[in-house]
Amino acid sequence: MLNGELLPRGRQVDFTQLAPERWKPGFATPFNQRMIGRKVLITNEFGDWLLLEPEEFRSFIEGRPQPGEPLYDRLRNANFIARAVDVQMQAERWQRKKHYLFHGPTLHGFVLTQRCNHGCQYCHSSVVGMERTDTDMSIDVAERGVDLAFQSTASAITIEFQGGEPTANWDVLRHIVEYATRKNVEAKKILSFALVTNLSLMDDERLDFLLDHRVQICTSLDGPADLHNRIRIFKNGNSHELLVRWMKKINDRYREMGLDTNHYRVEALPTITRPSLARWKDIVDAFVAVGCRAIFLRKLDPFGFAAKSAKTLGYSMDEYLEFYANAVDYIIELNRQDVQVMERHAAIMLNKILVDEEPNYLDLRTPGGACVGQLGYAPDGGVYSSDEGRFVASMGDDMFKIGTVHDSYQNLMTNAATRALVMAGLNDTQPDCVTCVYKPWCGQQVEYNYKTQGSLHGHMRDSTWCKKHKSIFDYLMHKLESADERDMEMFRRWTTNRTLDHFIVQ
């Protein structure tokens, strides 16, 4: 660990030391609690929170604070005093934060092909060789998928191209962009496109099309060249060199178009493997070197080839959390040196904690994103609960298939499978979640539960999903508890959300 420090974890409050006969339950709104260092973190269902000294916490649960006292004012302002809560205001606030419950899925992932020219050792998609054109999505399936996406009751939809390497089926990618753009003349949705690509098949003509049609470009960068090329195997050249060259070229084009390149850049994501664990500084430096302002330290998932390569690339959750804390400590130190870069896990969580916003990150919301947040469209026309649901299918299990592109939108959204997946994705149905201090900000991924524990509902006490997110929340709470004004300014900067209007298709 950085500076020899252990990853700070929280712990439950020991109520045996607090005389229960003196508690005053009716004084407080329902809350959960956890020790953060020497302080007690309390949260309520509204998403408010406070860090209290132990004696303040004792006073709180005994109902002793009186109007006019500083502690009473803090508790009242954070909606912890039952009689002082404005119920109508909180209902409106809940509706605003749960906006995603009032419309259909916004993210529609189209797998254009299973072909890929890379042999990434952790690939979640279980890809095939470039000669397997039988795995390409047809124009008919593509149009039916787009028609379904436009039936979503969401006012904004994103069509994301995935693979394999989606640009290997370029004609269908191009057709979807043009077809969806024409449909939107009448539908008038807030439409956007995103492409997840390794950039190895990019050329100037394709780039011109993508830029002209406002397609956001995302890629994978696993760190410095030796680490990236070791894991993301490309027999036709140097994957890292090719990737970095195209990232620079695309960013230069954004600049030429007059876009603010502090915000408009190629998004790059790493996947953390066992060789990455000791390279946290190198990985962060590699992202800074190519001009990235954000890095999403993604843990290896239990899907596709990654499940088969776990013995060589996998690691324990404790090892990942140690890596994460080292990397984010370093990112914080870079910010103190005026190098602006952030970690996206932390930024998403801090949005929930500091800004009282719901960024609609599908893995950290309740119910989760399965079916009602996203849909995955396979090349053969199968429709799945999510990317992860399709990954499970690629391993021979159609548990998360909810229909096909030939089904009606109403059937996809209301069938028994969809209802079961949505219900399983609720924190309110999880015994451990309902008593967790991080419940207002956390969420479920039913596909992960199923793949790792054999149940849609999972068992959070033994879940690595729960351990990961609870530990990162603990880490951030420790940082907030000790933050000075300079650090708070940095954290607030991480929570600044700017709409990338250029990627909205007019």
**What digits encode the pLDDT tens for the residues 247-266?**
999 999 999 999 998 889 99
User: Mean pLDDT, the chain, as a whole number?
Assistant: 93
pLDDT value at position 358?
87
Q: Residue 181 and residue 156: Cα distance in Å, rounded?
A: 13
Tell me the backbone φ, ψ of residue 445, rounded to 5 degrees: -130, 105
- Would you say residue 216 has pLDDT above 60? yes
pLDDT value at position 303?
72
pLDDT value at position 2?
38
pLDDT value at position 312?
83
Q: Residue 276 and residue 299: Cα distance in Å, rounded?
A: 10
Q: Residue 354 and residue 470: Cα distance in Å, rounded?
A: 17
Q: Which residues pair with 32 in a beta bridge?
A: 43
Report the relative pairing of strands 271-272 and 232-233 from DSSP bridges.
unpaired
CA distances from 205 to 201, 208, 252, 267 (A): 11, 5, 16, 21
Report pLDDT digits (tens) over 175-190: 999 999 999 999 999 9
Q: Residue 51 and residue 483: Cα distance in Å, rounded?
A: 13
pLDDT value at position 306?
55
Q: Residue 29 and residue 79: Cα distance in Å, rounded?
A: 7
29, 85 Cβ separation under 8 angstroms: yes
pLDDT value at position 122?
84
Q: Residue 61 and residue 165: Cα distance in Å, rounded?
A: 56
Report pLDDT digits (tens) over 376-425: 999 999 999 999 999 899 888 999 999 999 999 999 999 999 999 999 99
3-class DSSP assignment, residue 179: helix
Q: Which range (3-12, 215-224, 261-270, 354-363) has the least confidence?
A: 3-12
Q: Residue 478 and residue 483: Cα distance in Å, rounded?
A: 8
Report pLDDT digits (tens) over 27-36: 999 999 999 9
Report pLDDT digits (tens) over 341-388: 999 999 999 999 999 888 889 999 999 999 999 999 999 999 999 999
- Would you say residue 4 has pLDDT above 80? no
Q: Residue 284 and residue 222: Cα distance in Å, rounded?
A: 10
pTM above 0.85, yes or no: yes
Report pLDDT digits (tens) over 54-89: 999 999 999 999 999 999 999 999 999 999 999 999
**Share above pLDDT 70 across residues of the chain, in percent, rounded to a whole number:** 96
3-class DSSP assignment, residue 229: helix
- Would you say residue 308 has pLDDT above 90? no
Q: Which range (20-29, 33-42, 301-310, 362-371) has the least confidence?
A: 301-310
Model confidence band, residue 307 (pLDDT cutoffs 50, 70, 90): low
